[in-house]
Chain A
């Protein structure tokens, strides 16, 4: 009897819990899941907003996957993600290691360094656009260290992707450094004390204690940074508009232009779905790796 009462109480609590979660659940269903399934549906039609949709099955997928424009955009995305993420992983780890040391002004430095993260990406993009002007701050600083050539950061097809990667490293590194820092500070201090008693040097501590214990954090950062990198849009839209030519036209910008400049909604949806499966596949792979490593 008492057991039955307990079960009913748990059910009741569970029901109330569900009611509390319901608004958020409905929000997600309406604004996340519905558009996602809608996009999947649209990708099976020929649809341009203005004329009646026509069912075409998987023709859009074949069309997109054989289009050099899509592959150039995919390459621009891969270059951006690779250039940005690999640099961020390395720099943010080094930075976190440095910030974990107790020294004078550490709190102030941590706060200042975090400023790029809280600034709007739109604002920072506009600021960097001015900084990348041939007579702007970046070239002036390079001239100061002896590189006097006037680099055309945003109009040169080689330099423009690099310019956007540098901006993203500057903007993203502090955030990931904080994640690494949290991971480092969660490592029990006893390990380091024991290593110190055994006479282990700083480098060996890093390799044999810090690094192995940071693997879960590292894998989390890899997954998150790659997903965020693949979804990048604002700097490419504001600073270069995908140019010069199309060297910085990342997939998200291609989706936007396909949908809202050319009104090819089904094609845009198709690219979105392909991107979704790529991100999902990559994430599943990473999480499996994460599980194995744990």
Chain B
């Protein structure tokens, strides 16, 4: 009796303790300042962008719009999403912020995104707004009749190759670059350098081991080239399909069959994954246009070539973007001002390209000197034309994590792709 009473008291106390936090419901975003209209703006911190937005874009916008103040916060990348979601759900989130395209569905379904206010961009309809961006570039943000984000950096992954390393083995990087994954493996096995103890002094190629987003950005093109999908059209997982297994076998094969690199050796820094390529410790590396300002030591010593393809497969690359969005829970007047600010931000494509290395797909600057002179622009542009955004799911984070752990087992620890993907499929089915 005594124990039962105790249990009842503990349960009741727990429910009472939890009650006030549930009672609050959704709250309004941070209140604006008294005199000036304040727009709270958050972004993930990145070396090249923070300074540009803080020092140039915000002062310029505020001088043109004296009644508006931009209260900015740049959060370290690693903590950004946790901090953002905590703030949004606590009702103190920003009015405008940036997120990766892969999270769009989850955020939209939770009411955290506002559909684009085309009037704030000076358009008469959503269709006319869409036509002002490169074809398909807003496709990753379209859902349920609305568009929920404007790309801040629009990316694809292409292959960066070190010219000097290629010439060492008698190849011209610009002409003899690997067109397929098999060729990448074959050339890679010649580019590798090891010391007398069998230790790598130079890797030819390695994948990024920087978490689920990087893993899927590099694996999904191979799946698409095999005409496969991570999820079916009804949203169910398709992880153990033949196409995905073959893609992972190819992915793993570059390391374990051709020996192009060693997952334990390089590319271990999340702060600058391009560091090994920049230092000349890696001959080939898949990355995006944004990386060029970071590869300073290799300036003029590398080429960017199209992403390798699967022989007999469908030509396909990856598209991804970090997008500016507006908080769906903000007051209408704040939403309108926030879109106005984002319109301004997305109107300086030349500035973002030269200062940050970001490609912004808003039409109208392709004839500028800066666009034409940006190194390897045509390669990126062509790869984008074959690009596809990553799979969409409101459980992207969980599915991505499951995939990443399966890939780790296969690539880092040499486990069988089929076995790890079948286990991943079972796990994915449970969460769906």
> A residues engaging B (CB < 8 A)?
34, 37-38, 40-42, 44-45, 47, 49-53, 67-69, 133-135, 148, 150, 152-157, 241-246, 257, 260-263
Q: Which residues of B contact A (CB under 8 A)?
A: 10-11, 13-19, 21-22, 25, 82, 85-86, 88-89, 110-112, 197-199, 211, 262-265, 268, 395, 397-398, 401, 405-406, 408-409, 412-413, 415, 420, 426-427, 430
Contact A261 B397 (CB under 8 A): yes
Q: Are A148 and B197 in contact (CB under 8 A)?
A: yes
Residues of chain B within 8 A of A52, CB atoms compared: 22, 25
Do B85 and A263 have beta carbons less than 8 Å apart?
A: yes
Query: Closest 3 A-B residue pairs measured CB to CB?
Result: A41-B18, A40-B14, A41-B14
Chain A residues whose CB sits within 8 angstroms of the CB of B89 once the complex forms? 49-50
A155 to B401 alpha-carbon distance, docked (Å)? 17
- A242 vs B11: C-alpha distance in the bound complex, in angstroms? 33
Contact A152 B398 (CB under 8 A): no
Cross-chain contact of A261 among B111, B112, B199, B401 (Cβ < 8 A): B401
Q: How far is the CA of A156 from the CA of B198 in the complex (A)?
A: 18
- Shortest C-beta distance, B295 to chain A (Å), equals 23
Q: Check B14–A134 contact: CB distance below 8 A.
A: no
Ordered by A's residue number, 11 sampled pairs between the chains whose C-beta atoms are within 8 Å are A37-B10, A37-B14, A50-B111, A50-B112, A51-B110, A133-B268, A150-B199, A155-B264, A157-B415, A244-B409, A263-B397
Q: Which of A67, A153, A243 has the most CB of B within 10 A?
A: A243
Across-interface contacts of B415 in A (CB, < 8 A): 157, 245
Give bound CA distance, A51 to B395, whole Å: 15
A39 to chain B, nearest CB (A): 8
A40-B17, A50-B89, A245-B408 known; 10 other A-B pairs, CB under 8 Å?
A: A37-B13, A37-B18, A41-B17, A41-B19, A44-B15, A50-B88, A152-B412, A155-B412, A243-B405, A262-B401
Q: Which residues of the other chain, B, contact A150 by a CB distance below 8 angstroms?
A: 197-199
Chain A neighbourhood of B397, CB < 8 A: 261-263
Given A41-B18, A50-B110, decide whether A134 and B264 contact each other with a Cβ distance below 8 A.
yes
Interface contact B413-A157, CB-CB below 8 Å: yes
Tell me which residues across on chain B come within 8 A of A242, comparing CB atoms: 405
Highest count of chain B CB atoms <10 Å: which of A44, A53, A244: A244
Q: Are A244 and B15 in contact (CB under 8 A)?
A: no
Q: Are B22 and A156 in contact (CB under 8 A)?
A: no
Q: Are B110 and A68 in contact (CB under 8 A)?
A: no
Residues of A within 8 A of B427 (CB): 68-69
Asked, given contacts A50-B112, A51-B110, A68-B427, whether A134 binds B199 with beta carbons under 8 Å apart, the answer is yes
- How far apart sit A196 and B87, CA to CA, in the bound complex (Å)? 69
Q: Note all chain A residues with C-beta closer than 8 A to B15.
A: 41, 44
Give complex CA distance A133, B269 in Å: 13
Residue of B nearest to A243 (CB): B408
Tell me how far the C-beta of A40 lies from the nearest C-beta in chain B, rounded to whole angstroms.
Answer: 4
Shortest beta-carbon distance, B279 to chain A, in Å? 15
Considering the complex, give the chain B residue whose CB is closest to the CB of A48. B110
Residues A260 and B82 in contact, CB atoms below 8 Å apart: yes
| Listed residue (A52, A68, A156, A261) with the most chain B CB atoms within 10 angstroms of its CB | A261
Contacts of B265 in A (CB 8 A): 133-135
Please pick, from B17, B413, B430, the residue contacting A245 in the complex, using a CB distance under 8 A: B413
**How many angstroms from the CA of A246 to the CA of B212 in the assembled complex?**
13
With a cutoff of 8 Å between Cβ atoms, the chain B residues found around residue A47 in the complex are 22
CB distance from B125 to the nearest CB of A (A): 31
Residues of A contacting B197 in the complex (Cβ-Cβ under 8 angstroms): 148, 150
Q: Output the nearest chain A residue to B110 by Cβ-Cβ distance.
A: A50
Q: How far is the CA of A152 from the CA of B265 in the complex (A)?
A: 9
For A261, give the chain B residue with the smallest CB separation. Answer: B397
Q: Bound complex: CA of A250 vs CA of B95, how far in Å?
A: 37
Return the chain A residue nearest B329 by Cβ.
A50
CA distance A69 to B85 in the complex (A): 25
Candidates B82, B395, B401, B413; contact of A156 at CB < 8 Å: B413
Q: What separation, in Å, do the CA atoms of A246 and B262 have in the docked complex?
A: 20
Query: A37-B13, A41-B15 given as contacts; is B406 within 8 A of A245 (CB)?
Result: yes
